[in-house]
Amino acid sequence: MASVRAREHRCVTAISAIELTKRFGDLVAVDGLSFDVAAGTVTGFLGPNGAGKTTTLRMLLGLAEPTGGRALVFGRPFAELERPATRVGAVLEAGDLHPGRSGRDHLRVLAAAARLPRSRVDEVLALVDLTTAGNRRVAGYSLGMRQRLSLAAALLGEPELLLLDEPGNGLDPEGVRWLRDFMRAFASASGTVFVSSHHLAEIEDTVDHVVVIDHGRLVADAPLAQFTAGAHSLEDAFLDLTTGRVS
């Protein structure tokens, strides 16, 4: 019942950044950034290295405190969500895994905190194809396996919204295709994906909408078709914007 009611009342806006600002001393990492992510879309979050993508994601997830402005998820600061694992899943760039713990135990630890049944651990392990490797310690995992394990952790609570920070890093071409299909399937099951990437070509086939930032500021927020209109590809449009060239 509770979940039915939650879905009925779901905001059409999954993510809102409102005049979001983050300063580290003199460095302005994110500078008055405002954008919305509509529920049910796959939105690409693009920008060169150091543009402030990861900092923005960390503020959206309540891991970093904004210096100014607001970072909202489903209309609320992340920390005010009830059982956030059932609404939002996230994969951050670093991997964030203890090398001495097995993949399965990593998920069991998180499932216990989220009050999810043990069976979910086996389900998400199977989903990312780590059922056998799950009993091994993470120290022996490849980068791609760590990414898949992190994705499994994000999916534990069957969230409506996924935030992915460079999820393609370390994946082989097969893994990249798997990830692309996964994101599309997730969105067509009325989920929302907000995915940062510098692999522009890999994003192009996947996203409906793009948010582009540079030096912490918004430079584009548009449907993919509109964004790439007049340019040969997403990459051209992106480079035109972020290098200051006028096409």
Partner 1 sequence: MTAQLRSELLKLRTTRTMALLMLGAAALTLFAICVEGISPATGKLAQEQTQRELLSAVTSGVLFATFAGLLAVTSEFRYGTIRPTLLIEPRRRVVLMAKLAAAALAGIVIGAVSVAVAFGGGSAVLAVRGVDFAVNGPHSLELGLGAVAVAALSAVIGAAVGALIRNQSGAILALVIYAFVVDAVLFAAIPSLGRFLPGKAGDALLGRPVDHLLAPGAGAIVLALWALAFVVATTLRISRSDV
Residue 97 binds to partner 1 (criterion: CB under 8 A): yes
The correct pick among 19, 96, 129, 172 for binding partner 1 (CB under 8 A) is 96
Residue 101 binds to partner 1 (criterion: CB under 8 A): yes
Q: What is the CA radius of gyration of the chain?
A: 18
Least distance to partner 1 from the beta carbon of 214, Å? 22
CB contact at 8 A, 98 and 67? no
Residue 100 binds to partner 1 (criterion: CB under 8 A): yes
| Residue 10: alpha-carbon gap to chain centroid | 19
Burial of 114-141, coded b for 16+ CB within 10 Å and e otherwise, reads eebeeebbebbbeebebeebbeeebeeb
Residue 236 binds to partner 1 (criterion: CB under 8 A): no
Tell me whether residue 11 or residue 81 sits nearer to partner 1 (CB atom). 81
The correct pick among 78, 182, 194, 227 for binding partner 1 (CB under 8 A) is 78
Q: In angstroms, rounded to a whole number, what is the distance separating the alpha carbons of residues 170 and 119?
A: 28
Segments of 47-172 assigned E as strands? 68-73, 88-91, 161-165
Residue 102 binds to partner 1 (criterion: CB under 8 A): yes
Least distance to partner 1 from the beta carbon of 102, Å? 7
Least distance to partner 1 from the beta carbon of 89, Å? 8
- Judged by CB under 8 A, which stretch of 13-21, 107-115, 190-198, 213-221 contacts partner 1? 107-115
Least distance to partner 1 from the beta carbon of 106, Å? 8
Phi, psi of 154 (to 5 degrees): -65, -30
Total of chain residues touching partner 1, rule CB under 8 A? 36
Residues 147-206 touching partner 1, rule: CB under 8 A, are: 150, 153, 157
- Helix count and strand count (H, E) for the chain: 9, 9
**Closest C-alpha to 159, from 151, 148, 171, 167:** 151
Q: In angstroms, rounded to a whole number, what is the distance separating the alpha carbons of residues 235 and 238?
A: 5
The correct pick among 17, 33, 39, 61 for binding partner 1 (CB under 8 A) is 61
Task: Give contact residues for partner 1 (rule: CB under 8 A).
Answer: 58, 61-65, 78-79, 81, 84-85, 88-90, 92, 94-102, 105-106, 108-110, 112-115, 150, 153, 157
